[in-house]
A and B are shown apart, each in its own frame.
Chain A
Amino acid sequence: MDWLNLIVFPLIRSVILLFILLTAFAYLTWYERKLLARFQIRYGPNRAGPYGLMLPAADAVKAFFKEEVIPNHVDKVVYLLGPVLGLIPVLAVWAVIPITKNTPAIADVNIGFLWILALTGVESYGIILAGWGSNNNYSLLGALRSSAQMISYELPLGMFLVSILMLAGSFSLVQLVQSPRAWWEWLWLWIMFPFFFICMLAECNRTPFDLPETENELVAGFQTEYGGMKFAMFFIAEYLNVITTSTLMATLFFGGWKLPFGITDFLPILGPFVLAVKVIILLFVFIWVRASIGRPRYDQLMRFTWQYLLPGSIVYMIITALLVLFFK
């Protein structure tokens, strides 16, 4: 029965998770279009089905039936590897995220935090390879921007994660959510939240940090040469990344699947739904930011990380260490 636990059950769980995630992705595109339209005094999708709800399906069909063009001048292997490597790490992060009491999405590893860090590190490969493999100046510039940006923003992100880690005292996300926190710990965490959110925006390449694909300078950045399903893979990766980071933030800062006063401890079945609501609220913030904040220039973006965010995060980490040392 060992192989059953080791292979079959995780496989089934993965398939279900994949199904849920891809559906969530599809409707995130609808959600974003609808919300952006509302921010911009437009209607948004309203033709395909009621409230345009069938639009994601129509998009999927369109993407599937498009001709797969591989330009002659690309490095084929690298070019095709790009979208794949872009998507995998985003999905893999989900393995360790707790969805309800004592239940991670797939497996509770005792290095949950490091798992997240490792995968966010690998995420940029998709973009870099796509940009280089496309053999196109716009793509290359996008890839260069992306790699520099991601490396830069991972540093403060790592510092912040280490701070959370010190407060939690465990590498496991399941433990993190379930261990009780004092009020000052919450407060201290929420002080950090806006900065963490900025790092996450940069990590997801979302506006205002979508410099790798700034369409008004780089046409489409690293994905200039991609079309059809290959483009869709990047699209999926980007939006799933948004969902994943929202979930991560909900888990790290807002108690994940838990409701206040231990309500969900008695009704663990509510857990996933509570988590979903929190994620949807955070997604709203992502889209809100997109509708209202303009892009900085690339050098300004980098200056912000290295001159403000990184030193700030180190200071934060030191103070956290002192707090943990004296109060815990």
Chain B
Amino acid sequence: MTLSVLFFVLIGAISLAAAVGVVSSNHPVHSALFLLAHFGTLAILYITLEAQFLAAIQVIIYAGGIVILILFVIMLIGSEKIVNQAEHRTWTPYVGFALGIVLLGGLAISLLQGFTGVEPNAALLQGGSPQAVGLELFTRYILPFELAAVLLLVALLGALLLARRPKLKIEEQ
């Protein structure tokens, strides 16, 4: 018991440190790397909760997809400009700090309420197995699931529309 607690504390500390690193590091690529580390430790935490499926999904989607895309975008845009812009906006840290406190408060309230109110869900306690997750997703949460799909599709189309531009015209000489 103590061993697993120790493990949890260790991983949790790394996770938190990585999260702090995301917001505190100067370079966007370093931030993305801290984010990657953070997602990795989250996956490990899932495994300690016997939710292997969730852990794998976490790595596949966040590490294998999202952070790569973030890095991709940073590389495409070029990182220096972002750093420069951030320096000009002196109000950013304060607003961020205030918003963070609001978020933390909200989370704390909902967590405290949740711990007292809702019964643990039986399906989720099956160790987050693929069957359980799949059944839950496609029966009980089918509407939010499909809505999320539509939302993503809209976002995809919007991005396409924004990114599309006329083909480079070669000067006729």
Q: Do chains A and B touch in the complex (CB under 8 A)?
A: yes
Please report A residues at the B interface, Cβ cutoff 8 Å: 75, 77-78, 81, 109-111, 114-115, 117-118, 120-122, 124-125, 128-129, 131-132, 140, 143-144, 147-148, 150-151, 154, 171
**In contact, A151 and B75 (Cβ under 8 angstroms):** no
Contacts A111-B53, A128-B68, A171-B130 known; list 9 others, CB within 8 Å: A75-B29, A78-B30, A125-B36, A128-B71, A132-B29, A143-B75, A147-B71, A147-B72, A148-B72
**In contact, B52 and A122 (Cβ under 8 angstroms):** no
Least distance between A251 CB and chain B CB atoms (Å): 18
List, sorted by A's number, 27 A–B pairs whose CB atoms are closer than 8 Å.
A77-B30, A78-B29, A78-B30, A78-B33, A111-B52, A114-B52, A114-B53, A114-B56, A114-B57, A117-B64, A118-B59, A120-B64, A121-B59, A121-B65, A122-B63, A125-B36, A128-B68, A128-B72, A132-B74, A132-B75, A140-B75, A144-B72, A144-B75, A148-B72, A151-B69, A154-B64, A171-B130
Partner of B52, one of A110, A120, A147, A151: A110
Q: Roughly how many angstroms separate A75 CA and B80 CA in the complex, as a whole number?
A: 13
Q: Roughly how many angstroms separate A222 CA and B75 CA in the complex, as a whole number?
A: 13
Q: Roughly how many angstroms separate A81 CA and B33 CA in the complex, as a whole number?
A: 10
| Chain B hits for A148, CB < 8 A | 72
**In contact, B60 and A132 (Cβ under 8 angstroms):** no
The 8 A-B residue pairs with the shortest CB-CB distance, nearest first, are A121-B64, A114-B56, A118-B59, A118-B60, A111-B52, A111-B56, A147-B72, A118-B56
Least distance between A89 CB and chain B CB atoms (Å): 10
| Chain B hits for A147, CB < 8 A | 68, 71-72, 75
Q: Roughly how many angstroms separate A125 CA and B64 CA in the complex, as a whole number?
A: 9
| Chain A hits for B33, CB < 8 A | 78, 81, 129
| Chain B hits for A121, CB < 8 A | 59-60, 63-65, 68
| Chain A hits for B74, CB < 8 A | 132
Least distance between A325 CB and chain B CB atoms (Å): 15
Interface class of chain B by DSSP: helix
Name the CB-closest residue of B to A133. Answer: B29
Interface residues of B in 98-123 (CB under 8 A from A): none
Interface residues of B in 1-48 (CB under 8 A from A): 27, 29-30, 33, 36
| Chain A hits for B168, CB < 8 A | none
B76 at interface by CB-CB < 8 Å: yes
| Chain A hits for B56, CB < 8 A | 111, 114-115, 117-118
**In contact, B75 and A124 (Cβ under 8 angstroms):** no
Please report B residues at the A interface, Cβ cutoff 8 Å: 27, 29-30, 33, 36, 52-53, 56-57, 59-60, 63-65, 68-69, 71-72, 74-76, 130
**In contact, A122 and B75 (Cβ under 8 angstroms):** no
Name the CB-closest residue of B to A154. Answer: B64
| Chain A hits for B59, CB < 8 A | 118, 121-122
Name the CB-closest residue of A to B69. Answer: A151
Partner of B60, one of A109, A114, A143, A150: A114
Q: Roughly how many angstroms separate A115 CA and B27 CA in the complex, as a whole number?
A: 31
Name the CB-closest residue of A to B79. Answer: A132
Q: Roughly how many angstroms separate A137 CA and B36 CA in the complex, as a whole number?
A: 24
**In contact, A118 and B72 (Cβ under 8 angstroms):** no
Least distance between A10 CB and chain B CB atoms (Å): 15
Q: Roughly how many angstroms separate A147 CA and B76 CA in the complex, as a whole number?
A: 11
Least distance between A161 CB and chain B CB atoms (Å): 11
Name the CB-closest residue of A to B130. Answer: A171
**In contact, B64 and A118 (Cβ under 8 angstroms):** yes
| Chain B hits for A125, CB < 8 A | 36, 63, 68
Least distance between A54 CB and chain B CB atoms (Å): 39
**In contact, A117 and B60 (Cβ under 8 angstroms):** yes
Least distance between B129 CB and chain A CB atoms (Å): 8
Name the CB-closest residue of B to A144. Answer: B75
| Chain B hits for A120, CB < 8 A | 64
| Chain B hits for A151, CB < 8 A | 65, 68-69
| Chain A hits for B72, CB < 8 A | 128, 144, 147-148
| Chain A hits for B27, CB < 8 A | 75
Q: Roughly how many angstroms separate A159 CA and B142 CA in the complex, as a whole number?
A: 21
Least distance between A115 CB and chain B CB atoms (Å): 6
**In contact, B71 and A132 (Cβ under 8 angstroms):** yes
| Chain B hits for A114, CB < 8 A | 52-53, 56-57, 60
Q: With A117-B60, A140-B75, A171-B130 in contact, is A109–B52 under 8 Å at CB?
A: yes
Q: With A109-B52, A114-B57 in contact, is A122–B64 under 8 Å at CB?
A: yes
Q: Roughly how many angstroms separate A75 CA and B146 CA in the complex, as a whole number?
A: 43
Q: Roughly how many angstroms separate A154 CA and B33 CA in the complex, as a whole number?
A: 21
